[in-house]
Amino acid sequence: MHYTEYTKEEAASRLAEAEKKHESQIALGLSLDLSRGKPAPEQLDLSQPMLSLAEWQDDAGVDCRNYGMPFGLAEMRRFWASVTGIPAERIIVGGNSSLQMMYETLTRAMLFGVAGSKEPWCKIEKRKFLCPAPGYDRHFRVTETLGFELVTVPMTQDGPDMDAVEELVKDPTVRGMWCVPKYSNPTGVTYSDETVTRIAAMETAAPDFTVMWDNAYAVHDFVEDGDHLLDVFSVAEKYGHEDRFFYFSSTSKITFPGAGVAMMSMSERNLAKVKPLICAETIGPDKLNQLRHLAFLPNKEALTAQMKRHAEYIRPKFDTLLAILERELSDAGYAQWTRPSGGYFVSMEVPDGCAKRVWDLCREAGLTLTDAGASFPYGRDPKDSNLRLAPTFCSLADMTPAAEILTTSVKIAALERLLA
């Protein structure tokens, strides 16, 4: 029976039961955390051998300790080509932060425009950016910082609601859109072929409409047959819209979040604009860290094996969390949640107006969740119903008490609201 069909007495009795359980959870004095999309220490240990690889010359004998090679080592560009399917000469390898490459890309657009721009974006008084939500808070913050109005687009099972997007891009002040096309943060959704095609094909009022294509979870499957994502540049070329896409990825969740190797790619026309700017901006990325990565992950097989080892740690945590959500919340329909095949998050929908209350209840019992609303532009979830769950950093042993605190809290919030 769905919980909303409970009699008042039954609801009150179940609420009392949940509150009692909550009290006992508080009494345990736990300190648990499902808030951060961070790999666990045991995942980081997988890459520990990389740290002792004191390589300093590339295949061509270049001394990588010295200045030079502003777009990264040829081998590292080929590594990324093998991961992304993009030609190596269209890949620029950066430092340790793909977020920084995204910020820099938008900063360049602000000051110099992109291919097709009539003027630098800073000249556009009212500029807007589409934010599929729930989405990644740090993306939204970048465009907010740069003075864009953030326009929420609902996420569906197939990616952003393309009917809404196609309508919104008729506004010429809408300059672009954020996308995490595979195992999207936080829903875990991979964009369908139709969604990718519609994003590539659509006509936009802004001649320089820009899609920030953050393929952060390109190889981050934790099931045998992971999701498949269309090659966006191939599709875009069919429609003559290859200038629209700036593609990003990194090894942050392959090796080390704080010391990985980030990359970006873009059309030939955008490369011609961006490369000279990069040469003015920096003496080049840390090539020694690239060599370390190449020695540790010399080919696609090594990468696949590494991602399998990650999956062995990650999957049981997702399985445990999802099993407890299923057992506790499914029958009575207290909440809905996603069941991704990869990535770092589960997205949960609790009854409207309950997300903040669930967050507070969890906190009381020692469980930290990502701030309610964090996955929405300006940190405001209009329905106050979404919670982002990040199972990877928590130990497997802690997952059961964490999930039980969470499910108890969801029940309390939902029943309180029902009885209010």
Which residues are at the interface with a second copy (CB under 8 A)?
Answer: 36, 38-39, 41, 44, 47-48, 51-52, 54, 56, 63-68, 95-97, 99-100, 103, 107, 110-111, 120, 122, 138, 141-142, 144-147, 252, 256-259, 277, 280-289
Take residue 222 and report the two structure tokens written for it: 């934790």
Question: What is the Cα–Cα distance from 178 to 214, expressed in whole angstroms?
Answer: 8
Question: Minimum Å distance from CB 95 to a second copy?
Answer: 5
Size of the chain in residues: 420
Which stretch of DSSP H or E encloses residue 360? helix 355-364
Largest CA distance in the chain: 78
For a second copy, the closer CB: 201 or 277: 277
Dihedral sign computed on CA atoms, order 308, 312, 315, 319: positive
For a second copy, the closer CB: 12 or 62: 62
Contact 341, 376 (CB under 8 A): no
For a second copy, the closer CB: 65 or 308: 65
Q: What angle do CA 182, 385, 130 make, to 5 degrees?
A: 45
For a second copy, the closer CB: 45 or 231: 45
Contact 163, 172 (CB under 8 A): no
For a second copy, the closer CB: 40 or 164: 40
For a second copy, the closer CB: 142 or 387: 142
Question: What is the Cα–Cα distance from 159 to 231, expressed in whole angstroms?
Answer: 15
Q: What is the distance of C-alpha 22 from the center of its chain? A: 31
For a second copy, the closer CB: 252 or 370: 252
Question: Minimum Å distance from CB 257 to a second copy?
Answer: 5
Question: What is the Cα–Cα distance from 35 to 380, expressed in whole angstroms?
Answer: 17
Who contacts 416 (Cβ-Cβ below 8 Å, separation ≥6)?
Answer: 15, 357
Who contacts 229 (Cβ-Cβ below 8 Å, separation ≥6)?
Answer: 181, 182, 190, 191, 196, 215, 218
Place of tokens 């999701």: 227
Take residue 11 and report the two structure tokens written for it: 């609801």
For a second copy, the closer CB: 119 or 193: 119
* Residue closest to 251 by CA, chosen among 261, 243, 239: 261
Question: What is the Cα–Cα distance from 297 to 76, expressed in whole angstroms?
Answer: 10
Place of tokens 């269209």: 90
Angle (deg, nearest 10), helices 355-364 and 8-27: 40
Question: Minimum Å distance from CB 103 to a second copy?
Answer: 4
Question: What is the Cα–Cα distance from 73 to 403, expressed in whole angstroms?
Answer: 44
Task: Write down the H helix ranges in 34-136.
Answer: 41-45, 74-84, 98-112
For a second copy, the closer CB: 18 or 261: 261
Which stretch of DSSP H or E encloses residue 165? helix 162-168
For a second copy, the closer CB: 41 or 87: 41
Contact 231, 85 (CB under 8 A): yes
For a second copy, the closer CB: 68 or 240: 68
